[in-house]
Amino acid sequence: EAGRADDTRSAGARAAGHPAASALDEAKNVFLTAVSHELRTPLASIVGIALTLQRARSSLAEDDSADLIDRLAANAGKLDRLLSDLLDLDRLNRGIVTPKLHPTDLAALVTRIGTEWQDPGRPLKLAVEPVVAQVDPAKVERIVENLLANAARHTPPDTLVWVRVVRQDQGVLIAVEDA
């Protein structure tokens, strides 16, 4: 019922011409579309692999079976991480979890993440300015890792991925771009 009331208020605000409500509604729709796609991809793999294992249980070669089980585990892990990210976002929005802010050398953090990032055949360029900011380093690390994974997933191999850390007037910009 609360969701319906929110939808009704949002629709009413849009009808009344409130640009902020319209922009918020559009952002929500874009987010839900992206989340839906991101969740469906590993789930479709999990279902497909599980059905293959179920139907061909006795006729699969051991190597093929082991490969399918490895892929099943990898996709289940990805789905678990996506759901965990969603739950964390919800907890942050509701104030249940608060970020653990610490002065953090973002150049060092992003450089370490970039050094540890493993994607053979995909060049990575780091352009980091020395910046210390009050952030939750674990959350920033997770965000940068997710952005790198998205860049790798949605670009052809050999595409340059560029990570920048730039001081700005009101804070810091961390950008992950593909060329």
Nearest to 176, CA basis, from 154, 150, 139? 150
Q: What is the rounded (10 degree) CA torsion for 75, 81, 86, 89?
A: -160
**By the 8 A CB rule, do 133 and 168 touch?**
no
Q: Which pLDDT score is estimated for 1?
A: 47
User: Tokens for 127?
Assistant: 């352009």
For the chain, what is the mean pLDDT? Answer: 83
Q: Name the band, by pLDDT with cuts 50, 70 and 90, for residue 10.
A: very low
Q: Mean of the pLDDT values across residues 124-149?
A: 92
Pair of tokens at residue 19: 């640009």
pLDDT digits (tens, 9 = 90+) for 149-178: 888 888 898 899 999 999 998 899 999 998
Most confident of 35-39, 46-50, 149-153: 46-50
Name which of 143, 50, 160, 170 is nearest 88 in CA terms: 143
Whole-number Å distance between alpha carbons of 21 and 98: 26
Question: Average of pLDDT values for 12-34?
Answer: 65
Segment 113-121 mean pLDDT: 83
The tokens for 70 are: 């490895």
Distance between CA atoms of 128 and 112, rounded to whole angstroms?
A: 11
